[in-house]
Amino acid sequence: MLGVRSGLINGLRPALRHNFIHQAVLANSYRFYTTKKPKAPKQVKKEDIGFAFDIDGVLIRGKHPIKEATEALSFLSANKIPFVLLTNGGGVLEADRVAYLNKLLHLEKHPINQNQIIQSHTPLRTLITKHHRVLVVGGPADKSRAVAKHYGFQEVLRPVDIIRANPSICPYHRYTKREIQEWSIPPNEAKVSVDDPSCNEPIDSIMVFNDPRELFSDIQIIIDLLNSEFGQLGTKRITGKAKPSIPIIFSNDDLYWANDFKLPRLGQGAVRTAIEALYAKTNDGVKLQSTVLGKPFRVSYDYAHHILIDWRHKLQTGDVNTDACLPELNDPPINSPFKNIYMVGDNPRSDIKGGNDYGWNTILVRTGVYRDGDFVVDPSLPKPNFGIADNVQEAVEQALKANDIL
């Protein structure tokens, strides 16, 4: 029933089993299960309604499209109803991610614009004047370096640059000679010395853009820098364990994400957990101080809200190809023109919690991480305040109907 093994249900206490079955039947009895019946404001115009969609598990799953996404997004675009994509994914340029989605979802007639996407690291664009020389971690090949350079960071290092300069820093790395040659920059350009640590130019901050692909060496270099003397690789600080040597910024905290595999996969949140544990272990139990972006944190919802308002303005003026606005971090919009904004996601811990905390309407879809019965197995999971839908198309339809737009 509902994709949940009967053994799990039978193993529950009688009262809990009854509650599980009751909720499962309820969720399965209605094509759209609402947690409340919101009262739509009077005289709501379509431009006063906004949407924010997660990508993985809502629009696509792994490398495959979720078929209902094409019709849902096409309808919104054709009717100039503002929406943005708010994802904890990243590692590539926003323009490249949008081009990929447009092709995969067959949105040639109504393509998504690069100004409509907020990846987990997109807000880092606002930090280019405060961080000059940065270590960027995660993402495929050398794409994260290209993203950081595109944002405007002047000196961008990758862990593979450091391994190229001194392979003994992580003797068990899995990079091939070809990968090191193609993905790294020379030591003189990276300003990393092979023999003399005092010649290593200090690094201002560590930015985890995406899930690391070379996890062991990435963690080794990150811990080295956090425990270094003012970000100088190859040194070891003697005092000041209360905070890391240099700032570290995680672009998201997703413990799980959905792909083609039947069970959720570990994400960047798992990497953060490992780094925090190692930092505490190497610093007498001191907790790592870090900055975390992405969902469910308010900083990313503030940023997305600004982008959604900006996109609404672009739709009204027709200037859709001008650059997106660049809001400051932790700067909430004032006098938002929207009467209702809907966050549509598949992950209760990130999409739903973040949307609920921010005061948006939240809709949970069944096409990703969430499975019916999850709220019984784990009652602490954040629940959507608007409803649960089979897919993104149904979520959009119900939101528009609630506002008498459909």
Q: Do 31-89+98-118+299-402 and 122-292 have matching folds? A: yes
Residue 396: CB atoms within 10 A of its CB come to 27
Domain segments of the chain: what residues?
A: 31-89+98-118+299-402, 122-292
Quick one: pLDDT at residue 33? 64
- Distance CA(312)–CA(306), nearest Å, equals 10
Q: If you write DSSP's letter for every residue of 344-389 in order, what string do you get? A: EES-IIIIIHHHHHHT-EEEEESSSS--TTHHHH-TTS---SSEEE
- The whole-number pLDDT of residue 43 equals 65
Rounded (10°) CA dihedral 316, 320, 323, 327: 40
The ranges of the chain with pLDDT < 50 are: 1-12, 14-22, 24-30, 40
Region of 52 (left: φ > 0; alpha: ψ -120 to 50; beta: rest) is beta
Q: What is the Cα–Cα distance from 71 to 396, expressed in whole angstroms?
A: 10
pLDDT score at 37: 52
User: Hey, what CATH topology would domain 31-89+98-118+299-402 get?
Assistant: Rossmann fold (3.40.50)
- Supply the pTM of this predicted model: 0.84
147-176 burial: b if 16+ Cβ within 10 Å, else e = bbeebebebbbbbbbbbbbbeebbeebebe
Q: What per-residue confidence (pLDDT) applies to 6?
A: 39
CATH fold, domain 122-292, is Rossmann fold (3.40.50)
Where are the alpha helices (H) located in 79-186, listed in sequence order?
A: 94-104, 143-151, 159-165, 177-183
pLDDT score, position 217: 96
Strands 205-208 and 248-250: parallel
Question: What gap in Å lies between CA 135 and CA 207, rounded to an integer?
Answer: 6
pLDDT for 294: 95
CA–chain centroid gap for 265, Å, is 14
Distance CA 243, CA 72 (A): 46
- How far apart are alpha carbons 264 and 127 in whole angstroms? 32
pLDDT of residue 155: 97
Q: Which two tokens stand for residue 197?
A: 């640590």
